[in-house]
C-alpha cells in the first residue's frame, strides 16, 4: 500500500463521465511511479521472508532457505529477475510454483542470459561470457571490422593527464570507458588497462583515446573469451 498521497489525472479509457474535472487518488503503486521500485522490493522481500527464505546479511540480493539437514535453496534477486539453484529438485519445484501462484511470473527454464551475461551450461561445467555485449559495443563505436590487437595495452605505456596531445571527443570516450568497465565483469584480462584509461575522463587527449581504441581492438580479437567454472 502507498504511504504517500498521490493523485493522477484520469487516464484515457478511464474517464468518468460527468466528473471530467476530477482526479484519481492512488491506492497502489503504478508502473513508472517514483515509489514503484521501493514498493515492489518491499513486497517481494516480505513475501520471501514470510515463506522462510532468509536474506543474506553480506549480500542483500541473496536469499537462502535450509530444508532438513543438508538441503538448501539459493535465490538471487535482481529487481524482477530471479535466478535460483538448489541441492534438491523438490525445493526447486516448490519455489517455482510458489512464485508463479503469487506473482505473474514466467519460468524461463535453464539460465542462459542474465544482465547481459551469457551463460552456457553443459554437463558439469558452466561458461559465462559477454560475447554479444562485446560485439554490440564494437558496433556502437564503428569498430566491428577493425584490425584485432594481440594485447590490450602497449608494454610500459605511461599515459599522463597533460600530454600536450590534441583534444578528443570526451562524450564518446566516457561512453566507451563505461562500456568497457561493464565488460570487466567477465574479462579480468582487461581490468588493468580499463583502470588506466578511466583516469583520463577530464583532460582527454587523442593519445588517451588511442589507448582506449587499443583495448577495443584487443577485445575485437578475443570476442569469445569468458570464464569456465
Partner 1 sequence: MFGFTDSDWASSIDDRRSVSANVFTLGSGAITWSSKKQATLALSTSKAEYVAATSAACQAIWLRRVLTDLQQEQKVATEIFCDNKTTIYMTKNPMFYSKTKHIDIRDHFIRDLVTKEEISMEYCSIQK
Grid cell listed for 203: 583532460
- Restricted to residues 100-129, the positions that interact with partner 1 (CB under 8 A) are none
Q: How far is the CB of 82 from partner 1 (least distance, A)?
A: 16
In the region spanning residues 8 to 27, those forming contacts with partner 1, defined by CB under 8 A, are none
Residue 154 to residue 152: CA distance in whole angstroms: 7
> Would you say 29 or 212 has its CB closer to partner 1?
212
Edge-first strand order for the sheet with 226-228 is 113-114, 117-122, 125-129, 226-228
Closest CA to 193 of 174, 213, 175, 173: 213
Give the separation between CA 137 and CA 143, rounded to whole angstroms: 8
> Where in 146-185 is the site for partner 1 (CB under 8 A)?
158-161, 184
d(CA 72, CA 91): 8
The stretch among 38-46, 107-115, 142-150, 188-196 that binds partner 1 (CB under 8 A) is 188-196
Gap between the Cα atoms of 194 and 180, Å rounded: 7
Among 168, 181, 191, 211, binds partner 1 (CB under 8 A): 191
Binding status of residue 192 toward partner 1 by CB under 8 A: yes
Number of residues counted as binding partner 1 (CB under 8 A): 23
**CB nearer to partner 1: pick between 56 and 144:** 56
Nearer to partner 1, 9 or 162 (CB): 162
Residue 114 to residue 121: CA distance in whole angstroms: 13
C-alpha pair distances (Å), 182 with each of 11, 34, 115, 130, 205: 39, 26, 10, 10, 23
Dihedral sign for Cα 45, 48, 51, 55, please: negative
Annotate each residue in 60-99 with x if it binds partner 1 (CB under 8 A) or - if it does not, as one string: --x-x-x-----x-x-------------------------
Q: Which is nearer to partner 1, 7 or 228 (CB)?
A: 228
Grid cell in block for residue 47: 513475501
Closest to partner 1 by CB, 15 or 126: 126
Residues within the interface to partner 1 (CB under 8 A): 56-59, 62, 64, 66, 72, 74, 158-161, 184, 188, 191-192, 194-195, 199, 227-229
Amino acid at each position: 500500500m502507498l504511504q504517500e498521497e498521490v493523485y493522477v489525472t484520469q487516464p484515457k479509457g478511464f474517464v468518468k463521465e460527468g466528473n471530467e474535472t476530477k482526479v484519481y487518488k492512488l491506492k497502489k503503486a503504478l508502473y513508472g511511479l517514483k515509489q514503484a521500485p521501493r514498493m515492489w522490493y518491499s513486497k517481494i522481500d516480505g513475501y520471501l521472508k514470510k515463506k522462510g527464505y532468509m536474506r543474506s546479511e553480506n549480500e542483500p540480493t541473496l536469499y537462502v532457505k535450509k530444508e532438513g539437514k543438508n538441503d538448501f535453496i539459493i535465490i538471487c534477486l535482481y529487481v524482477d529477475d530471479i535466478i535460483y539453484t538448489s541441492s534438491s529438485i523438490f525445493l526447486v519445484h516448490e519455489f517455482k510454483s510458489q512464485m508463479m501462484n503469487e506473482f505473474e511470473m514466467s519460468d524461463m527454464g535453464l539460465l542462459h542470459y542474465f544482465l547481459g551475461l551469457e551463460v552456457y551450461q553443459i554437463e558439469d561445467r558452466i561458461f559465462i561470457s559477454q560475447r554479444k555485449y562485446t560485439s554490440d559495443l564494437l558496433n556502437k563505436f564503428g569498430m566491428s571490422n577493425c584490425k584485432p590487437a594481440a594485447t590490450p595495452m602497449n608494454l610500459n605505456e605511461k599515459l599522463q593527464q597533460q600530454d600536450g596531445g590534441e583534444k578528443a571527443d570526451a562524450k564518446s570516450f566516457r561512453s566507451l570507458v563505461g562500456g568497457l568497465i561493464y565488460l570487466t565483469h567477465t574479462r579480468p584480462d582487461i581490468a588493468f588497462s580499463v583502470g588506466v584509461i578511466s583516469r583520463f575522463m577530464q583532460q582527454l587527449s587523442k593519445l588517451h583515446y588511442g589507448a582506449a581504441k587499443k583495448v577495443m581492438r584487443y577485445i575485437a580479437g578475443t570476442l569469445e573469451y569468458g570464464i569456465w567454472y
